[in-house]
């Protein structure tokens, strides 16, 4: 029987995402000047205030206020009427040293050691389980409802930042939601419902406002999103889509003034929109020694390469750890009955464990995670993004540094040939 599945996304101006972006900007700056930094940074944003809290072990010193204000300014909170503005908001820092009890399980100094010694010496930064997922229903191996929800808000952000005359009333805070009907064999049939709530400037007349925003979303934003999809998905965009555009009506008060934002409260938006599973650990604000982040990227890397290799149509990969221990407690694979090889999922998992080294140090090295690559992950999802090499400039407290980094390394399809060979595909 056909079924409906829904995923949501939030814009870079959503208060929780503001917090995520500040936390990850701090991570990037610490790693840029000291790649060995250990950081767990939480951010809270509310009316006119930012609170930074967390644990740091680093050899560098940063102007965290400047970094925070730069992030807020880039997002677009630059007007006093937003009641949260880059130049005037208060910033309180409660960052302090990392616990030596935690650090002793992660930072085991081994002089002049080879890879194997280092990989066995660095334990996981915490216990827990992490999941990666991939499906062949989109070109980027992401679930379609989430992919479209992200695309709607990215298009609105593009308009707000670069095409000011097109929808000049847009403010930074926004949410989207897409419901898709699937067939019995898990194929998308049609888009059932699209929900968009966007913060906006005040209008003289509320009815005019609602009509204008709804018309622009349906006739400007959605056609652009449709045009960006592969041709076989265009048929999902029918005239029978149910739209809820700003369904509560007026949405002038938004951002951190409308709702308090916290790091790590959008973990489903950050991953797979509710498909697959989630271990519960947030990503933003954590350096890669925290397996909540690094192992979630590593399991996505595995899942995407398995599907791209043709091993299965969709797959969920789980890994788990004990704090301070390098070797994972377990590796689990679920192909949802879509495997193209005559093997049980347990046997597939065993072979996957032979292909991919899941010790934390090995993950850091394989995916180049000790580089300042995290600001780009903090809005519009950590998965399904474009792998590319970019130059980034960091400057704080009189320091300046330009680095070339590779973004979203976990999205590379660099293990496809090895998987095909291992499984005889």
For the chain, how far is it from start to end, CA to CA, in angstroms? 32
Q: In the predicted model, what is the mean pLDDT of residues 398-414?
A: 94
296 is in an annotated binding site: no
Give the tens place of pLDDT for each residue, 347-377: 999 999 999 999 999 999 999 999 999 999 9
Q: Which residue has the higher pLDDT, 106 or 209?
A: 209
Residue 376 domain flag: yes
CA distance 256 to 261: 6
pLDDT exceeds 70 at position 46 = yes
- Is 174 known to sit in a ligand binding site? yes
Q: Are 228 and 159 in contact (CB under 8 A)?
A: no
CA distance 169 to 214: 13
Q: Does 205 lie in the same domain as 189?
A: yes
Rounded mean pLDDT of 256-269?
97
Residue 228 and residue 160 share a domain: yes
Same domain, 188 and 294: no
Instruction: Please check the confidence at residue 399 and state whether its pLDDT lies above 80.
Output: no
Instruction: Consult the annotation and say whether 422 binds a ligand.
Output: no
169-182 residue pLDDT tens: 999 999 999 999 99
| Residues 311 and 417 placed together within one structural domain of the fold | yes
The mean pLDDT of 234-242, rounded to a whole number, is 96
| Domain-located, residue 40 | no
Residue 286 assigned ligand-binding role: yes
Q: What confidence score (pLDDT) does residue 119 get?
A: 74
What's the pLDDT score for residue 173? 98
pTM recorded for the entire structure: 0.95
- Residue 261 and residue 17 in contact, taking contact as beta carbons nearer than 8 Å: yes
Cα separation values, 199 from 10, 158, 250, 269, Å: 12, 15, 8, 19
Please check whether residues 198 and 309 belong to one and the same domain. Answer: no
Question: Tell me, what's the pLDDT at 54?
Answer: 95
69 falls within a domain:
no
Q: From CA 274, how far away is CA 307, in angstroms rounded?
A: 19
Flag whether 193 is in a domain. yes
266 annotated binding-site participant: yes
399 known ligand binder: no
Q: Is 265 annotated as belonging to a binding site?
A: yes
Residue 250 in marked binding region: yes
User: Does one domain contain both 158 and 219?
Assistant: yes
Tell me whether residue 325 is in a domain. yes
pLDDT bracket for residue 108 (50, 70, 90)? low
pLDDT at 414 over 70: yes
412 plus 312 within the same structural domain: yes
368 - beta bridge partners? none
* Domain of residue 399, CATH code: 3.30.300.10
Both 250 and 303 in one domain: the answer is no
Are 132 and 152 in a shared domain?
A: no
Residue with tokens 């970019």: 390
Total of domains in the chain:
2
Domain of 191, in residue numbers? 3-10+144-255
Q: What is the pLDDT of residues 287-296, one digit of tens each?
A: 999 999 999 9
Helix (H, G, I), strand (E, B) or coil at 19: helix
Q: Is residue 109 part of a domain?
A: no
Are 294 and 396 found together in one domain?
yes
Annotated ligand binding at 327? The verdict is no
Q: 107-111, 232-236, 274-278: which has the minimum mean pLDDT?
A: 107-111
Q: Rounded mean pLDDT of the chain? A: 94
Both 220 and 167 in a single domain?
yes
Retrieve residue 342's tokens. 């005559």
Are 233 and 306 members of one domain? no
Tell me if 275 is assigned to a ligand binding site: no
Q: What is the pLDDT of residues 50-85, one digit of tens each?
A: 999 999 999 988 999 999 999 999 999 999 999 999
109 appears as a binding residue in the annotation: no
Q: Is residue 405 part of a domain?
A: yes
Tokens of 25: 């900007």
Task: For residue 147, say whether it is annotated as part of any ligand binding site.
Answer: no
To the question of whether residue 16 is assigned a binding role by annotation, the answer is yes
Encoded tokens for 239: 């005239």
- Judge contact between 339 and 348, C-beta under 8 A: yes
Can you point out the beta strands (E) in 81-136?
Answer: 90-97, 128-135
Write the DSSP string, 184-250.
TTS-EEEEEEEEEEEEE---S-HHHHHHHHHHHIIIIIHHHHHHTS-GGGGGG--TT-EEEESTTS-
The 10s digit of each residue's pLDDT in 315-355 is: 999 999 999 999 999 999 999 999 999 999 999 999 999 99
| Residue 397 located in a structural domain | yes
């Amino acid at each position: 029987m056909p079924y409906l599945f829904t995923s949501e996304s939030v814009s870079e101006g959503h208060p929780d995402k503001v917090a995520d972006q500040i936390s990850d900007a701090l991570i990037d700056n610490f790693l840029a000047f000291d790649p060995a930094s250990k950081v767990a940074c939480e951010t809270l944003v509310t009316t006119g205030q930012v609170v930074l809290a967390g644990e740091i072990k680093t050899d560098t010193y940063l102007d965290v206020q400047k970094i925070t204000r730069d992030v807020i300014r880039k997002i677009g909170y630059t007007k006093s009427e937003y009641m949260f503005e880059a130049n005037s908001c208060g910033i309180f820092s409660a960052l302090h040293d990392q616990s030596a009890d935690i650090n002793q399980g992660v930072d085991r100094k081994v002089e002049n050691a080879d890879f194997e010694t280092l990989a066995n010496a660095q334990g996981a930064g915490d216990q827990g389980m992490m999941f990666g997922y991939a499906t062949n229903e989109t070109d980027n191996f992401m679930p379609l409802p989430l992919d479209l929800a992200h695309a709607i808000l990215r298009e609105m952000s593009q308009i707000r930042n670069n095409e000011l005359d097109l929808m000049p009333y847009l403010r930074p805070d926004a949410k989207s939601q897409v419901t898709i009907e699937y067939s019995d064999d898990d194929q998308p049939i049609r888009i059932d419902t699209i929900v968009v709530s966007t913060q906006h400037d005040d209008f003289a007349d509320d009815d005019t406002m609602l009509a204008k925003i709804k018309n622009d979303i349906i006739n400007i934003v959605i056609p652009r999103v449709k045009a960006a999809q592969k041709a076989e998905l265009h048929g999902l965009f029918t005239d029978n889509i149910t739209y809820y555009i700003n369904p509560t009506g007026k949405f002038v008060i938004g951002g951190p003034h409308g709702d308090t934002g916290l790091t790590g409260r959008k973990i489903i938006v950050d991953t797979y929109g509710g498909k697959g599973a989630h271990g519960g650990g947030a990503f933003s604000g954590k350096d890669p020694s925290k397996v909540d982040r690094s192992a979630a990227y590593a399991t996505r890397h595995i899942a995407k390469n398995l599907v791209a290799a043709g091993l299965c149509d969709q797959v969920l990969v789980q890994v788990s750890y004990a704090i301070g221990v390098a070797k994972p407690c377990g590796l689990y694979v679920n192909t949802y009955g879509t495997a193209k090889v005559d093997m049980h999922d347990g046997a597939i998992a065993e072979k996957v464990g032979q292909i991919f080294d899941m010790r934390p140090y090995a993950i850091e090295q394989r995916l180049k995670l000790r580089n300042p690559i995290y600001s780009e992950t903090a809005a519009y999802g950590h998965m399904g993004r474009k792998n590319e090499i970019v130059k980034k400039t960091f400057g704080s407290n009189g320091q300046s540094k330009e680095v070339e980094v590779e973004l979203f390394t976990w999205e590379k399809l660099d293990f496809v040939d090895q998987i095909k060979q291992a499984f005889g595909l």
